[in-house]
Amino acid sequence: MRRVGPPTISPDEIGKRIADISFPTPFPSYLEYNPPVHGTWNIVHTGMLVPDAHIIYVCAAGCLRGVVLTAAEMGEMSRFSSISVREPDIVNGRMDDLIIDGVCSVIDGLAARPRAVLIYTSCVHNFVGTDLRYIYGKLRERYPDIDFSDGYMTPIMKKTVPPDTRTWQTIYSLLKKNDHNSKGVNIIGCDLKIDEDTQIFKIAKAAKVDLLEITKCNTYEEFQKMGSSYANIYMLPVAARAAGYLEKHHGQKSLYMPVCYSYKEINLELDMLCRELGVDMPFDEASLIEECEKEAKKTADLLGDSPVSVDGVCSPRPLGLARYLIEHGMNVISLFVDGLNAEEEDDFKWLFENRPDIMVYPTIDPKMRVFDRKRGENVLAIGQKAAYFNSTKHFVNMIEGGGLHGYSGIIRLMELIRDAYENEKDTKDIVPRKGLTCMSVI
């Protein structure tokens, strides 16, 4: 056997200067490569957040392999089942019966009755026109004591309604519509617990409001309390659809407070929350900004001219993060992103004008399979993909903003960057592990 193509591709052959890319689609979309970096959560990890629930996937054996392995790696196979779809099931016109009989067989065989069942159908059910409404109606008739919700493992919808976006709506559709509790506000759509040092918690405490998160729910009853809250805070774009669903069907107000790195935007978000909860700002914002500036300077002084690389996995606002670091004296040289958040147009323009030579690399381009990952300098990476593609042991192990938000989030991030600079991590061991912070039996 002999290798087809060059052993490696140099960064210059695949990357582009930020001045040479278009916004918000810097690279064309075609065949995709899946790099061996798995810290982000998939729909199995997220579905497991629902306490006392059982998850059933209905799809072909090839597709089942990945989700079964995820459940096994989490040590959660007792909460996971699958129904395999074979070729005869597609042509014999009995797909409805396959799902109904399969789900009933799973439920009847469990040692304990689940409070909820999340059923994930797949692409093939879209293709053959499976009557999911009929199926769920029959299951609810047979098991009136169980809450059923429709999940979707449909990568064919990735460019319209991605599976992770659908999953959050699936989860929160299980909430019962209850009388609104003026003492309850939910934080929704975050796989990770939100750092309780964030200003959101201080505002809630001043307003004597309970902040509820699914990540802190240990029982189904605790989860159902979220149905009584009167508003939902969401920080990640992936939760927008779920927030809209809850506003339409439960009357819960949506409050979008995105993870960001602009003092002005943070101020507007916190001010909005204070007005909504009817309290004055319980802290001095000027002092917090001063502390952020102090921590950023301390970080910049430590790093000096050390190159910094940022990826789109570490935060929903990688451009905003890169801009903040550059404005505070840090040497950002590259971004590893596939698409750009439309909310970051101002940050894109700023980088375009002020740092046009920053290199941008696609992580899912098939050529990245042979990307030359050996850097001549020791890069400090923020995010797992930036660490992998730079072959560095100095990185901030963070996904989706890391549960950080507001001024306290920036302060904490500066601490993490300094720690990453001073201490090595075992990159080869860390980045292949699925679901950062999830339990793993590996």
What tokens were used for 343?
Answer: 């909310």
Q: What's the CA gap between 416 and 414, in Å, rounded?
A: 5
Cβ-proximal residues to 413 (8 Å cutoff; 6+ apart), any chain: 396, 398, 402, 404
Dihedrals phi, psi of 34, to nearest 5 degrees: -110, 100
Cα separation of 355 and 357, whole Å?
6
pTM above 0.75, yes or no: yes
User: 88-117 b/e with 16+ CB inside 10 Å = b?
Assistant: ebbeeeebeebbbebbeebbeeeeeebbbb
pLDDT tens-digit profile of 149-204?
A: 999 888 776 667 888 999 999 999 999 987 766 679 999 999 999 999 999 999 99
Supply angle C-alpha 277, 261, 395, rounded to 5: 125
For the beta carbon of residue 382, count every other beta carbon within 10 angstroms. 27
Number of residues that make up the chain? 442
Contacts of 3 (CB under 8 A, 6+ apart): none
One digit per residue, pLDDT tens: the chain, 442 residues?
566 656 788 888 899 999 999 999 999 988 889 999 999 999 999 999 999 999 999 998 888 999 999 999 999 999 999 999 998 988 888 899 999 999 999 999 999 999 999 999 998 888 888 899 999 999 999 999 999 999 988 877 666 788 899 999 999 999 998 776 667 999 999 999 999 999 999 999 999 999 999 999 999 999 999 999 999 999 999 999 999 999 999 999 999 999 999 999 999 999 999 999 999 999 999 999 999 999 999 999 999 999 999 999 999 999 999 999 999 999 999 999 999 999 999 999 999 999 999 999 999 999 999 998 887 678 999 999 999 999 999 999 999 999 999 999 999 999 999 999 999 999 999 999 999 999 887 7
The residues, ordered by sequence, that sit 6+ positions from 31 with a Cβ below 8 Å of its Cβ are 366
Give the position of tokens 């670091």. Answer: 325
State the amino acid at position 185 in one-letter form. V
